[in-house]
């Protein structure tokens, strides 16, 4: 008979599953995490689970939190199993399963529950995985968009915040008024300079409400930058059935991911931190070189292959890599147009790092979908592709392949519906991409997405050439011609 996952059934699980070497009831809270998705549970939560297994840092348990409908869905799935998650690492060599118990609670999905929890001085870190689009970044300025309707509302009614950053500012104000030390805010999202961007958002709200509070936050709150990495697909019914078949466990929300994970963090934690260096986390003075390497090679690579693969009706990332047209195009694009923008990192070979990335992409057991890489594109490409274009334009290098990425994206948008795009700008993307069939530059007029590139003649001309070639020659021929240049 199958075992339903709960803290009471851990001893009943198959011996092939690694279970916590600690009693989850002995873990006390230290971190509140906003945005409990698959990536967080496969990454940060696993690092902490490994640390707790060593008998260390048991006062750094995770409390889950969120404000979105999908946070409610996740909470409802995890509640019956006492917040436990089965993590299954898969590759060509097999599967390994572990149960993570590092999350010890998941509070109600509302702002007041978060504010109440953050009154607890035991919470010394607030970590975030709120997606690339969750930071209210203004593409034109690169700064915080203080005019976003959600932010305007929080500024008008700071006592009743509804956005993540309105809530964090209110909680920090409470800490200040109660003469309590502030918590550190640690972004774990794939955003360049993610700690700096989180700080811009928090200070952007605080400065509009109270300058004294903003100054206090600026002087006292840590915002460490970090680089995070672990390919983690969404969970479908298929993964639940695989878990049951392979390990005889019923889990409402298991996570299947690759065995590889990496975490590089700026060591900036005024109120202390768990001893994560004991389980492989790298603490450094400057994260930026590692961050750019990952964002431009891995995330940039994902973005580059996603749209041609989708247009060719390829479902999985490993199948895209198995296609020599996409592989050759991707390899040349990253080697010739992304890697040259990176600062040297002592001891790191970027070409070998690319080889490892391609091996990870080719893992058939992860079953990472191309569709996952195509969603939320108006937030992702400005983080992963457009900065590479801007730097290459500034430094007089080629952007042929990068403009082909944008052309593939435009074509994909013109052939998609709002559900497929799953993007807050979906309707506008579809409209602009449809107009581009007659005038390619219409797609570039979305200045809130393209920023200064909307007016860059070199970029405009290269995109126009790429889009016209795509329209006249087709996807496969464009891939071939680029790889053979």
Mode of pairing for the β-strands spanning 85-91 and 255-257: parallel
Q: What is the mean pLDDT of residues 252-276?
A: 98
Q: Is the pLDDT of residue 61 over 90?
A: yes
Mode of pairing for the β-strands spanning 184-187 and 262-266: unpaired
- Please give the backbone phi and psi of residue 227, each rounded to the nearest 5 degrees, phi first: -120, 125
Rounded Cα–Cα distance for residues 476 and 309 (Å): 10
Per residue in 400-429, pLDDT tens? 999 999 999 999 999 999 999 999 999 999
DSSP class of residue 402 equals H
Locate 211 and state its tokens: 């300058």
Rounded Cα–Cα distance for residues 360 and 318 (Å): 9
Q: Which pLDDT value is given to residue 124?
A: 98
Rounded Cα–Cα distance for residues 366 and 46 (Å): 17
Q: What is the mean pLDDT of residues 92-97?
A: 91
Domain 3-284 has CATH 3.40.50.720: yes
Q: Is the pLDDT of residue 280 over 90?
A: yes
Domain 288-484 has CATH 3.90.1640.10: no
Kindly give, in sequence order, each residue whose CB lies less than 8 Å from that of residue 197, ignoring residues fewer than 6 positions away: 135, 137, 187, 191
Q: Which pLDDT value is given to residue 201?
A: 97
Q: Which pLDDT value is given to residue 379?
A: 93
CB 101 within 8 A of CB 6: no
Kindly give, in sequence order, each residue whose CB lies less than 8 Å from that of residue 43, ignoring residues fewer than 6 positions away: 188, 228, 229, 230, 232, 261, 263
Reported confidence tier of residue 153, pLDDT bands at 50, 70, 90: very high
DSSP class of residue 299 equals I
Q: Is the pLDDT of residue 142 over 90?
A: no
Residue with tokens 């579809």: 430
CB 31 within 8 A of CB 104: no
Kindly give, in sequence order, each residue whose CB lies less than 8 Å from that of residue 230, ignoring residues fewer than 6 positions away: 39, 42, 43, 257, 258, 260, 261, 262
CB 257 within 8 A of CB 91: no
Q: What is the mean pLDDT of residues 50-65?
A: 98
Kind plus residue range of the DSSP H or E element containing 41:
helix 38-42
Q: What is the mean pLDDT of residues 322-338?
A: 98
- Going from N- to C-terminal start, the domains of the chain cover 3-284, 288-484
Mean pLDDT of the chain, nearest integer:
97
Mode of pairing for the β-strands spanning 85-91 and 94-100: antiparallel
Rounded Cα–Cα distance for residues 366 and 42 (Å): 13
Per residue in 228-240, pLDDT tens? 999 999 999 999 9
Q: Which pLDDT value is given to residue 203?
A: 98
Rounded Cα–Cα distance for residues 247 and 2 (Å): 9
Q: Is the pLDDT of residue 192 over 90?
A: no
Q: What is the mean pLDDT of residues 105-113?
A: 97
Q: Is the pLDDT of residue 141 over 90?
A: no
* pLDDT above 70: percentage of residues in the chain: 100
| Size (the chain), residues | 485
Q: Which pLDDT value is given to residue 92?
A: 85
Q: Is the pLDDT of residue 128 over 90?
A: yes
Residue 330 neighbours by CB distance under 10 Å: 28
Helix (H, G, I), strand (E, B) or coil at 362: coil
């Amino acid at each position: 008979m199958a075992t339903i996952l709960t803290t009471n059934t851990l001893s009943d699980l198959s011996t092939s599953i690694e279970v916590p070497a600690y009693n989850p009831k002995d873990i006390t809270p230290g971190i509140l995490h906003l945005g409990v998705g698959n990536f967080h549970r496969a990454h940060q939560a696993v690092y902490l689970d490994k640390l707790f297994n060593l008998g260390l840092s048991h006062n750094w348990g995770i409390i889950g939190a969120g404000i979105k409908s999908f946070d409610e869905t996740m909470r409802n799935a995890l509640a019956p199993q006492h917040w436990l998650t089965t993590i299954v690492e898969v590759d060509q060599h097999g599967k390994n399963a572990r149960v993570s118990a590092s999350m010890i609670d998941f509070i109600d999905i509302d702002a007041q529950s978060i504010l109440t929890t953050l009154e607890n001085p035991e919470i010394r870190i607030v970590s975030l995985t709120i997606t690339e689009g969750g930071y209210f970044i203004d593409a034109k300025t690169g700064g915080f968009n203080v005019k976003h309707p959600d932010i305007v509302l929080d500024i008008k009614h700071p006592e009743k915040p509804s956005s993540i950053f309105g809530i964090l500012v209110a909680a920090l104000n409470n800490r200040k008024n109660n003469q309590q030390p502030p918590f550190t805010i640690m972004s774990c999202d794939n955003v360049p300079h993610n700690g700096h961007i989180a700080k811009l958002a928090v200070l952007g709200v605080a400065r509009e409400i109270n300058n004294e509070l903003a100054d206090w936050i600026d002087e006292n709150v840590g915002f460490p930058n970090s680089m995070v990495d672990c390919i983690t697909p969404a969970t479908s019914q298929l993964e639940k059935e695989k878990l049951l078949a392979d390990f005889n466990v019923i889990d409402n929300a298991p996570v299947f991911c690759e065995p590889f994970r990496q975490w590089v963090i700026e060591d900036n934690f005024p109120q202390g931190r768990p001893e994560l260096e004991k389980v492989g986390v790298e603490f450094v003075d400057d994260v930026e070189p590692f961050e750019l390497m990952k964002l431009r090679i891995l995330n940039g690579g994902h973005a580059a292959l996603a749209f041609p693969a989708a247009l060719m009706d390829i479902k999985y990332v490993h199948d895209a890599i198995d296609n020599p047209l996409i592989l050759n195009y991707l390899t040349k694009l990253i080697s010739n147009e992304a890697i040259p923008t990176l600062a040297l990192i002592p001891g790191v070979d970027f070409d070998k790092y690319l080889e490892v990335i391609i091996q990870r992409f080719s893992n058939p057991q992860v079953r990472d979908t191309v569709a996952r890489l195509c969603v939320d594109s108006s937030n992702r490409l400005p983080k992963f592709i457009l900065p590479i274009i801007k730097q290459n334009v500034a430094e007089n290098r080629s952007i042929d392949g990068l403009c082909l990425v944008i052309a593939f994206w435009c074509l994909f948008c013109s052939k998609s519906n709002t559900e497929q795009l799953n993007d807050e700008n979906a309707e506008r993307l579809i409209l602009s991409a449809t107009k581009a069939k007659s005038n390619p530059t219409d797609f570039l007029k979305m200045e809130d997405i393209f920023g200064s590139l909307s007016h860059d003649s070199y970029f405009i001309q290269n995109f126009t050439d790429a889009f016209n070639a795509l329209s006249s020659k087709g996807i496969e021929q464009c891939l071939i011609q680029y790889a053979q240049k």
